């Protein structure tokens, strides 16, 4: 019977211990994986940002190609200006018709020149897909012709043909070399943190796993995976602890403790059963006079034995101290915990077991407890083992009294909490590291929880968005409060404030990744992108890209405008002229192109220097703009040559010629007025120079069916030279399409008085 009871107790204890240990290990494993996923997500986000920022360089390069109508003569200079703004991008290329013709930097990359992206086996699939879909495609990683391992971003460029139908011009490409592109992701920090990682993708052709970067060739054990969504294929960042998940040693120790406890409790059950059986036998054998005493003695012995067994099989240290603070009784667990024999512990002063630096504090609390100043004590304390090593323990102490209420000292229980303290320290270090990362991020960062409450932010967030300190004094500050503040100060433009707030909050509750640009009222341009986080909420980053936008605008000004007069240059003129010719085809209305050359300009330069000539050219540009509408084009070709393009004249060519004559005469009258030029001399004195000049103007009235851009420019130029040869300050129409005869028949059209308007 005793063995059966002992077996039942053992099995019950084993089931309970196994259940507890299993649940603890599952919770521990889930916590480790969640923490690892959060950590890996941070590195994946940094890698995604680096790559996406580098990919955007293809759009800037494509915009320049479109503005140049397929030509970018200063490609090397433009590339040198663009590359510093995209750190992960190492090479920029232009590939007209799919063949690489320009590459920067050229040094060490000469082998790539002439490579046909549409036929090369390494890039054919991605380049063809980009051309057919019109979308950016990321090829690779792959081996480059010029040596090296890299990914290539391929963006197709389509230009408008003369019939305004888009045609495939070629590609603009960005090369992202490895491992340079991984620097910003700080993947080695995973190794330093005890993780192996593997950055990989499924090869688009074979479907097999292709490793991009890995810390070890060993396969990862149940890794956490973070997906990086990229054009034409995704990458995955996987990571797993080097030592594996969980704590095998701790699990084994817990299992051993569970087994030992189960065996001991089963043994106690057997002993209790046997003792009770023995008690029954004694009751039958002893006399009735001694029966009560025997029962009492048996019960006392049983209780004492049970107490000792329970005391010595406990997983915590239990001890008694007398009124002088010396240990009078202890259990086996305490001896094991402190590394002393039980005999040595008896009679030892309790505070001798405390870390030397905390002994005085422990002594004062013990004396206060003995003096009944406090009823109990609960404290986490550093204890001192026999080998002079320390460990963390949680002490629970109370005054000890007997059945009569007489105090005999204190009873204490110590639990080893070293593992918990270590975990708390690790968690604190992780929190400090995350705080340091957020505070040192080169932009603003904010974190919202699932209820859209602001849970974290850095100083840059407040400074960049100019939030007052008073806004953050509100308890439980949420996204709606921040958006209402922005709406009230005009961040979202005019409109109903509550409607603006409601729309944005509703969009935020979808917890979708987002990225957009916003210009603040102070003129600064912010790039804002957010990512949802597991469990709800999202992290939003704010970057000030004002300088980058200004640089892009400066590049556009240099590419399309004359730096002196700020008028469109020859390149932009061709674009506007092409648009005007296309407009005549759609509407049936004629346009006019006027080629102007200033008379008496050289004498001003020879007499007063080029500074005076520049002032005259600027004033001429100003007068020309005032003579035409805003939708018309005034351009400077160079020197003292200007071109004016006007549209929407008339469907009748003769009437259009008369209208063009009026405009030409108006321009000539405006340019013939005296010029007062403030000329500055070397001695810094300023003289006002009065100068008179006129313009010889060649005019061609055009419509789409009569010629091309080059034809109309050539005809207008020839007409201008005839005006020059005829005595200057004259207007001549082109003879190429019969306009000269029409103009002669309507010569009254050229007799426009000064000040006439169109």
Please list the active-site residues: 640
Count helices and strands in the chain by DSSP H and E runs: 20, 26
Cis before 105? omega within 30: yes
3-state secondary structure string, 212-256? Answer: EEECCCCCCCCCEEEEEEECCEEEEEEEEECCCCCCHHHHHHHHH
- Residue 603's closest CA among 755, 715, 728, 704? 728
Nearest to 166 by CA among 57, 55, 69, 71: 69
19: CB partners within 8 A, 6+ apart: none
Asked if 421 contacts 429 with a C-beta cutoff of 8 angstroms, the reply is: no
**Cα–Cα distance list, 198 to 103, 187, 194, 203, 655 (Å):** 32, 10, 14, 15, 75
What is the rounded CA–CA span in Å between residue 402 and residue 75? 95
Q: How far apart are CA 600 and CA 729, in angstroms?
A: 10
Q: What is the token pair recorded at 354?
A: 């405390």
Residue from 435, 492, 438 nearest 461 by CA:
438
CA pair distance 604, 600, nearest whole angstrom? 7
List all residues 6 or more positions away from 618 whose beta carbon is below 8 Å from its beta carbon.
564, 565
Both tokens of 400, joined, read: 């000890």
Please give the sequence-ordered ranges of beta strands (E in DSSP) within 62-148, or none if there are none.
Answer: 91-96, 102-104, 137-143
SS (H, E, C) 595-612: EEEEECCHHHHHHHCHHH
SS3 category, 68: coil
User: Distance (Å, rounded) from C-alpha 90 to C-alpha 153?
Assistant: 12
Q: Look at the block and give the residue holding tokens 């108006």.
A: 666
**Number of Cβ atoms within 10 Å of the Cβ of 220:** 19
């Amino acid at each position: 019977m005793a063995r059966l009871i002992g077996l039942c107790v053992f099995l019950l204890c084993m089931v309970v211990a196994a259940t507890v240990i299993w649940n603890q290990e599952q919770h521990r494993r889930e916590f480790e994986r969640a923490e690892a996923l959060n950590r890996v997500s941070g590195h994946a986000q940094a890698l995604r940002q680096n790559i996406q920022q580098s990919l955007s360089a293809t759009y800037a390069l494509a915009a320049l190609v479109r503005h140049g109508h397929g030509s970018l003569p200063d490609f090397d200079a433009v590339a040198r200006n663009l590359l510093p703004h995209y750190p992960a991008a190492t090479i920029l290329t232009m590939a007209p018709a799919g063949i690489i013709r320009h590459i920067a930097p050229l040094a060490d990359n000469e082998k790539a020149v002439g490579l046909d992206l549409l036929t090369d086996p390494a890039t054919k699939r991605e380049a063809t897909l980009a051309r057919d879909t019109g979308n950016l495609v990321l090829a690779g990683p792959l081996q480059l012709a010029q040596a090296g391992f890299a990914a290539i971003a391929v963006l197709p460029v389509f230009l408008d043909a003369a019939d305004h139908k888009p045609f495939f011009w070629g590609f603009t490409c960005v090369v992202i070399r490895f491992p340079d592109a991984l620097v910003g992701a700080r993947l080695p920090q995973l190794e330093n943190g005890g993780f192996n990682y593997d950055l990989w993708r499924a090869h688009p052709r074979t479907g097999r796993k292709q490793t991009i970067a890995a810390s070890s060739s060993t396969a990862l054990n149940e890794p956490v995976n973070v997906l990086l969504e990229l054009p034409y294929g995704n990458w995955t960042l996987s990571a797993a602890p080097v030592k594996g998940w969980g704590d095998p040693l701790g699990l084994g120790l817990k299992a051993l403790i569970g087994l030992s406890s189960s065996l001991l409790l089963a043994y106690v059950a057997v002993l209790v059963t046997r003792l009770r059986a023995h008690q029954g036998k004694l009751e039958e054998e002893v006399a009735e006079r001694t029966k009560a005493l025997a029962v009492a003695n048996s019960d006392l012995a049983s209780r004492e034995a049970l107490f000792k067994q329970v005391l010595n099989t406990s997983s915590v240290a239990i001890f008694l101290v007398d009124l002088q603070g010396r240990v009078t009784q202890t259990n086996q667990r305490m001896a094991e915990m402190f590394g002393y024999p039980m005999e040595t512990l008896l009679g030892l002063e309790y505070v001798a077991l405390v870390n030397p630096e905390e002994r005085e504090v422990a002594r004062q609390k013990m004396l206060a407890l003995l003096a009944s100043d406090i009823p109990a004590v609960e404290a986490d304390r550093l204890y001192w083992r026999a080998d002079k090593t320390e460990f963390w323990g949680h002490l629970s102490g109370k005054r000890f009294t007997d059945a009569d209420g007489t105090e005999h000292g204190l009873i204490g229980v110590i639990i080893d909490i070293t593992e918990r303290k270590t975990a708390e320290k690790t968690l604190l270090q992780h929190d400090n590291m995350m705080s340091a990362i957020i505070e040192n991020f080169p932009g603003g960062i904010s974190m919202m929880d699932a209820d859209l409450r602001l849970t974290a932010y850095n100083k840059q967030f407040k400074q960049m968005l100019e939030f007052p300190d008073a806004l953050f004094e509100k308890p439980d500050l949420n996204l709606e409060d921040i958006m209402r503040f922005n709406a009230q100060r005009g961040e979202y433009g005019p409109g109903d404030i509550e409607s603006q707030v409601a729309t944005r909050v509703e969009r935020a509750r979808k917890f979708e990744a987002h990225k957009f640009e916003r210009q603040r009222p102070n003129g600064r341009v912010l790039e804002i992108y957010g990512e949802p986080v597991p469990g709800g909420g999202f992290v939003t980053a704010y970057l000030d890209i004002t300088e980058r936008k200004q640089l892009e605008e400066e590049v556009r000004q240099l590419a399309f405008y004359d730096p002196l007069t700020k008028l469109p240059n020859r390149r932009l003129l061709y674009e506007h002229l092409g648009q005007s010719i296309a407009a005549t085809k759609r509407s049936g209305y004629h346009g006019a192109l006027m080629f102007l050359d200033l008379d008496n300009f050289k004498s001003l330069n020879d007499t007063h220097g080029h500074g005076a000539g520049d002032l005259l050219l600027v004033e001429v540009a100003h007068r020309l703009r005032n003579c035409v509408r805003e939708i018309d084009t005034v351009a400077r070709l160079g020197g003292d040559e200007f071109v004016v393009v006007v549209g929407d004249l008339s469907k009748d060519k003769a009437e259009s010629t008369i209208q063009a004559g009026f405009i030409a005469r108006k321009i000539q009258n405006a340019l013939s007025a005296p010029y007062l030029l403030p000329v500055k001399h070397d001695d810094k004195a300023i003289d006002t120079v009065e100068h008179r000049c006129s313009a010889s103007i060649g005019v061609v009235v055009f419509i789409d069916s009569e010629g091309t851009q080059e034809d109309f420019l050539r005809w207008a130029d020839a007409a201008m030279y005839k005006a020059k040869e005829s005595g200057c300050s004259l207007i001549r129409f082109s003879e190429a399409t019969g306009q000269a005869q029409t103009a002669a028949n309507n010569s009254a059209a050229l007799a426009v008085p000064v000040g006439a308007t169109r």
